[in-house]
């Protein structure tokens, strides 16, 4: 199989970038893109328990993710109820 057989990639739906300091990274990308994050939140209902911010760009979305506030202990306590329920 050659690269021509695989077809052309026309774009990416989204790109996720893990960062250590979500607030600092969000501020930096707001400066680079000259726009505010389109959405942000905490994914406490997922196994990851991540804080995130997303930037809607012309042809993709950049999602910044960081360990949820409070560190690993907070991640464990936030994820434990979901894991215990078997969800």
pLDDT of residue 4: 59
Asked if pLDDT for residue 28 goes beyond 90, the answer is yes
Regarding pTM above 0.95, the answer is no
| Assigned domain for 8 exists | no
| Assigned domain for 9 exists | no
* pLDDT confidence band for 64 (50 / 70 / 90): very high
Mean pLDDT of the chain: 78
| Assigned domain for 59 exists | yes
Task: Give residues with Cβ within 8 angstroms of 26, minimum separation 6.
Answer: 37, 40, 53, 64
Total domains in the chain come to: 1
| Assigned domain for 64 exists | yes
- Domain extent, residue 60, equals 14-85
| Assigned domain for 61 exists | yes
| Assigned domain for 6 exists | no
> CA Rg, the chain, in Å?
17
Average pLDDT over residues 57-72: 82
Average pLDDT over residues 25-47: 84
DSSP-derived 3-state class of residue 50: strand
């Amino acid at each position: 199989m050659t690269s021509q057989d695989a077809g052309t990639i026309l774009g990416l739906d989204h790109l996720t970038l893990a960062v250590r300091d979500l607030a600092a990274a969000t501020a930096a990308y707001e400066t680079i893109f000259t726009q505010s994050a389109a959405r942000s939140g905490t994914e406490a209902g997922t196994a990851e328990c991540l804080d995130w911010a997303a930037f809607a760009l012309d042809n993709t979305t950049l999602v910044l993710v960081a360990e949820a506030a409070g560190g690993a202990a907070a991640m464990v306590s936030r994820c434990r109820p979901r894991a215990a329920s078997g969800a």
